[in-house]
Amino acid sequence: MAAEPAFPLVAVVSSYPLLAEAVEGALEGIAEVRAFPAGQGDTADFLRLLQPAAVVVDSAEEAEAAAEFAREARATLVHVSLREDRLRLLHAGRWQNLSDGSASPERIRSAVAAGIYLRGVRT
Amino acid sequence: MRRTSIVVADAGPIFRAGARHLLGRESDFEVFEATTLPQLSQTLEERAPDIALVDLDLPPQGGVAAVAGLAPLHETRMIVWGFDATPDAVLAAVTAGAKGFLPKEISPAGLIRSLRGVVRGEAPLSRSLATLMVDAVQGLEERDRARERAVTLSTREREVLALVARGARNREIAQALSISEFTVKRHMQNILHKLDLPSRRAAGLFYRSAFESSGVFEMERTA
């Protein structure tokens, strides 16, 4: 049997590998971060297999695909628009724009950490 | 071991943090950060880093302008990186003094390899960007050849040709230049003869290739 990860798993599905590096740095000691390339066309199914506690994506297409999984699994989903320097969060099944400030790793950490905590409380 | 110092100049906190986290794992790199041109300038003055990784959109005027202003003043090797690696963007960056251009989609291993290559004097440019650059250089050469041919035209003929390129009819050209339609036709015949072109449409295309240029061309003209 595969060993359970020591920390909750966060999947970063992105065309920009440095996003995963930034998220990994921000979640050090909080979550285990794994990077996956975007645009593979099977994001929702892939996430169902992986069962991460949170997902970070960088495109609207991947956000839409990941939202299917996030709603089913009550996982946190953060969509980072790197070009527009904006963040939105799928919370309670609805997208919520996090409009104050830019898309910093610290804000991603806050969103993901809060989501992981709330998920733990609910389950 | 002497570490390679790098300043990551980028307004986007994600890319700065990503680069810092990635390069921080490597023992041979030391990373500084800047978010604007003034901060980059200050870091170059105070730290004299080996490499500056400059965002194409660095505030306030973009990475190309930043490199053009700073490269002549510092020994730091400047690499531009950006979202949109168009031929013009790559060529503009290199013309401004950048030693290479990297796409922001670059893999962690690719970025490390590229930066180590810069230390050895290599110019980081992916294969796809090298192709774009060759296309851009060839475009400039074609433009130069077209401009050389256009030297034979008189000022009035060039004015007529400019209007033809914008799709104007003879009557409209005559009105715009306060000349008769007959004179416009005569100018048109001369233009086609001098440039050895078969048609009015070809003349319009010629004008666009010679004078309606990219940002790179504009930059060269105003430099």
For the domain spanning B152-222, the CATH number is 1.10.10.10
**Which chain A residues have a beta carbon less than 8 Å from that of B105?**
15-17
Element (H, E) at A78: strand A76-81
The reply to whether residue A18 touches residue B12, judged by beta carbons under 8 angstroms, is: no
Task: Tell me the pLDDT band of B214, cut-offs 50, 70 and 90.
Answer: very low
At residue A121, the pLDDT reads 57
DSSP three-state, residue B178: coil
At residue B150, the pLDDT reads 83
Write out pLDDT tens, residues B123-134: 887 776 777 777
Tell whether A26 lies on the interface with B, counting CB pairs under 8 A: yes
Share of residues in chain B with pLDDT > 70 (%) = 93
Best-predicted range by mean pLDDT among A18-32, B144-158, B200-214?
A: A18-32
Element (H, E) at B23: helix B13-24
Given 3-state DSSP classes, what are the helix, strand and coil percentages for chain A, each rounded to the nearest 5?
Answer: 40, 25, 35
- Inter-chain residue contact A19 with B14, CB threshold 8 Å: yes
H and E: helices and strands count for chain A = 4, 6
From the list A1, A34, A59, the residue with the least C-alpha distance to B105 is: A59
Q: Does B112 touch chain A (CB under 8 A)?
A: no
**pLDDT tier at B215, thresholds 50, 70, 90:** very low
> Does residue A20 register a pLDDT over 80?
yes
B105 contacts chain A (CB < 8 A): yes
Domain extents in chain B: 4-128, 152-222
Using DSSP, state whether A95 is helix, strand or coil.
strand
Structural domains of chain A, ranges and CATH numbers in brackets: 9-122 (3.40.50)
- φ, ψ at B71 (rounded to 5°): -55, -40
If pLDDT is split at 50, 70 and 90, which confidence band does A99 have?
low
CB-side exposure of A106: number of CA atoms within 13 Å?
6
Whole-model pTM?
Answer: 0.74
Q: pLDDT category, B85, cuts 50, 70, 90?
A: confident
CB contacts of A85 in chain B (<8 Å) are 11-12
B161's tokens: 């040709």
Q: Is residue A56 within 8 Å of A112, Cβ to Cβ? A: yes
Among B18, B107, B111, beta carbon nearest to A22: B18
CB A93 within 8 A of CB A68: no
Reported as a pLDDT band with limits 50, 70 and 90, residue A63 is very high
Take residue A42 and report the two structure tokens written for it: 């099977």
pLDDT at position B218 is 36
Give one DSSP letter per residue of B72-134, joined into a string. Answer: GG--SEEEEEES---HHHHHHHHHHT-SEEEETT--HHHHHHHHHHHHTT---B-HHHHHHHH
Closest CA to B42 of B77, B18, B7, B75: B7
Chain A, window 29-58: residues with a beta carbon less than 8 angstroms from a chain B beta carbon: none
pLDDT value for B7: 98
Integer angstrom CA distances of residue A93 from A14, A97, B6: 22, 13, 42
- A82 vs B contacts (CB less than 8 Å): 12, 14-15, 83, 104
**Average pLDDT of the segment spanning B121-149:** 76
CATH number corresponding to B4-128: 3.40.50.2300
Rounded to a whole number, what is the distance in Å from the CA of A74 to chain B's nearest CA? 26
Give me B217's structure tokens: 């061309």
Return the number of CB contacts < 8 Å for A and B.
Answer: 62
